[in-house]
Structure 1
Amino acid sequence: MTNPLKDQGSAVKEITDFLKVLEDTGNLDLKPHILACNGHVQPNADVPIGETSSVSPASEHSPLICVEFTGTDTPLLLARNGELLHAIEHIAAKILGLEPEEHDLIFFDAEGFKANRDKELQLAAQTAIEQVRETGRPYSFPPMTSRERRMIHLALAKSGLPTASSGEGPRRFVVLYPEGPAPTPPPATEDRTRAIRNSFRRR
């Protein structure tokens, strides 16, 4: 798969422009610090970005652009389990034209909220692995965002145990199964509706 952020200077510029609009229209005391792949913080949009030629390639799942927010209004970003922070990151991903499986290429955080959350997910994954191996029964995680579900799947992959996502929309969650093939999760409502319609067409 080609890297959609191969022109990372342009990508950082797009994010910078978006955050400037957010700052001007949202009337929020937030200061974004953008960490581009060249390892240099670029808080000022007037500074040339991404011109360093010695760029170290990131790993498959490492973010290429990180944004750290500071300011007196950061608690607003973190309220309701970081709902606004996740929303801003999601909009940025849409602006960059990233597919859902590519959202890991950018990472927005404030006061270490998501970094700490990532550590919690790693610990939760390890606990689930131990519990499933001890009990032989599936373990269901609470509903998570698509990014968090992806992180859980990756953390669980090293165990060799099968995993699957279940549920719909904001209630979608990950299930870890004991040894053996994972049961096929039921189709989403849209898929069930399409299957019913097709069965009537064949009659």
Structure 2
Amino acid sequence: MEYTAQTIEEAIEVGLKELGVTKDQVEIKVIQDAKKGFLGIGKQDAIVELQVIKQASVQEEPVKTPSQEAPKEVVETPQVEEKRFESQEEFEQALIDLGHYLADITEKMGVETSIDVTPEKHTVYYDFDTKQEGLLIGKHGKTLNALQLLAQDYLDKRVRRRVRVILDVANYRERRAETLTHLAQKVGRDAIAQGKVQQLDPMPAYERKIIHFALADNTHVKTYSRGTEPHRYVVIEPVNGHYE
């Protein structure tokens, strides 16, 4: 059995406790030593393998003759294809490679930047530090959003687990969220006042969610999305009154 912890000693203690044995009753094999990593990337816990030393059995079972043996029933066990995620080391290497991929693209764009990677449970953030913010962001964030789509596609092809990729520069995502919230509230008021359906420009999924959330408590309008990616957009419709 394999056991994992921050150090080899802790991993051994975990294994001994789970097996209910002492250290002299097992064979210990170190599978992997712990690594600190860099900026959270490449960090590895220690892994050890513990095998309980078998002791000779005092009582032996009587040997049965062929005539005494019961007929064996052949049971076919259906084979289930096991879906396995890549190892943590492979996953972290994919995140590092994606960082290099983004660095190559920005270099070809003529943007001088450094990239800070912050992996979390289901999301990984790539934060760009550059003096050429406008060139990297683009009009209404179109350049940054396009880079994010490329990054998401790259990671989806490298790993099996579903991880969301977010690219940011100079807190643009936070500032954009505030702008979209104000926009949603304004267009919502227009929809009510005019009694007409309003539709916004196409947006990425996470920006559409900001619009939906901003108007979720407004009982006078309802919101929904139409179209196909990457041209999907939000519709704001007044609940009461005549509208086109």
Q: Tell me, which stretches of 5 or more residues in structure 2 are unaligned?
A: 1-84
Match runs of 1:95-134 below 5 Å: 95-97=154-156, 105-134=164-193
Which of 129, 147, 158 is equivalent to 1:88? Answer: 147
Q: What's the TM-score, normalizing by structure 2?
A: 0.49
Residues 116 and 169 of structure 1: CA distance in aligned 2, closer, same or farther (over 3 Å): same
C-alpha distance in structure 2 between counterparts of 1:177 and 1:163, whole Å: 6
Shift in Å, 1:119: 0.8
Shift in Å, 1:10: 5.7
Shift in Å, 1:73: 3.9
Which of 21, 30, 53 is equivalent to 2:101? Answer: 21
Q: What corresponds to 1:33 in structure 2?
A: 116
Identify the structure with the greater strand proportion. Answer: 2
Residues 22 and 35 of structure 1: CA distance in aligned 2, closer, same or farther (over 3 Å): closer
Match runs of 1:98-177 below 5 Å: 105-160=164-219, 161-167=221-227, 171-177=231-237
Instruction: Work out the number of aligned pairs and report it.
Output: 150
Which of 178, 188, 201 is equivalent to 2:238? Answer: 178
In angstroms, what is the RMSD of aligned CA positions? 3.6
Q: Provide the identity percentage.
A: 24
C-alpha distance in structure 1 between counterparts of 2:88 and 2:117, whole Å: 12
Identify the structure with the greater helix proportion. Answer: 1
* 1:178 partner amino acid: P
Larger RCO (CA within 8 A; separation ≥ 6): 1
C-alpha distance in structure 2 between counterparts of 1:109 and 1:10, whole Å: 24
Residues 9 and 155 of structure 1: CA distance in aligned 2, closer, same or farther (over 3 Å): farther
